[in-house]
A and B are shown apart, each in its own frame.
Chain A
Amino acid sequence: GAGVSQSPSNKVTEKGKDVELRCDPISGHTALYWYRQSLGQGLEFLIYFQGNSAPDKSGLPSDRFSAERTGGSVSTLTIQRTQQEDSAVYLCASSRNPLAGNTDTQYFGPGTRLTVL
């Protein structure tokens, strides 16, 4: 079946512009995660959506970052007034239901490579 998809695959923008990154999770998955990964670094958690619960935004680095998940499916990560340090690969993952049996196998999308000039 279809996996997690993300768009665009690459985005180049100028400092100060806003960008929107999209994630389409696997159908039926209730949990959705956003991470970012700077060059040569590990994964940095950004935000987590689970069903209709309030999202866990504890990983968002500043108030320039926000995310929505409409209808419990597609999610959009928005970065306002982008800065050069925002340059990274932004990864989205989804999982079936982490609250069921305390397990949470995440399936990752290919990522969006954001470059802020």
Chain B
Amino acid sequence: DAKTTQPTSMDCAEGRAANLPCNHSTISGNEYVYWYRQIHSQGPQYIIHGLKNNETNEMASLIITEDRKSSTLILPHATLRDTAVYYCIARDDKIIFGKGTRLHILP
């Protein structure tokens, strides 16, 4: 398993881009980077995943460094509804969640 480390919490102003970092320095070549989020009292929700290339979907962008030892999830225009715990996971088979980053979007 690649251990991931994330900041415990972050703040971001509403309307600004939220950039959530994740370190996975021991990641192996076939391990994907996944991001999920969990809004209060709900089950986790898939956001995005990638292997080497940067990825973008309707929710977010994922930037993976060339050496794949870290990545950044970008929420381009954060809203209050983006307040949640964000989990970064690097696994090649089953996904196991760590403690994540608690993102607070400030009005």
Contact = CB atoms under 8 A, between A and B. Distances in A.
A binds B: yes
- B interface majority secondary structure: loop
A contact face: mostly helix, strand, loop, or mixed: loop
Contacts of B81: none
A99 B85 CA distance: 27
Nearest to B93: A98
Contacts, number: 58
A101 B106 CA distance: 39
Interface in B41-83: 42-46, 49
Interface of A: 4, 31, 33, 35, 41-43, 45, 48, 50, 56, 59, 91, 93, 98-99, 102-111
Contacts of B100: 42
B99 A104 contact: no
Given A91-B43, A98-B94, A104-B94, 16 more contacts: A31-B94, A35-B97, A42-B100, A43-B38, A50-B94, A59-B96, A93-B44, A99-B93, A102-B93, A103-B32, A103-B49, A104-B32, A104-B93, A104-B95, A108-B45, A110-B42
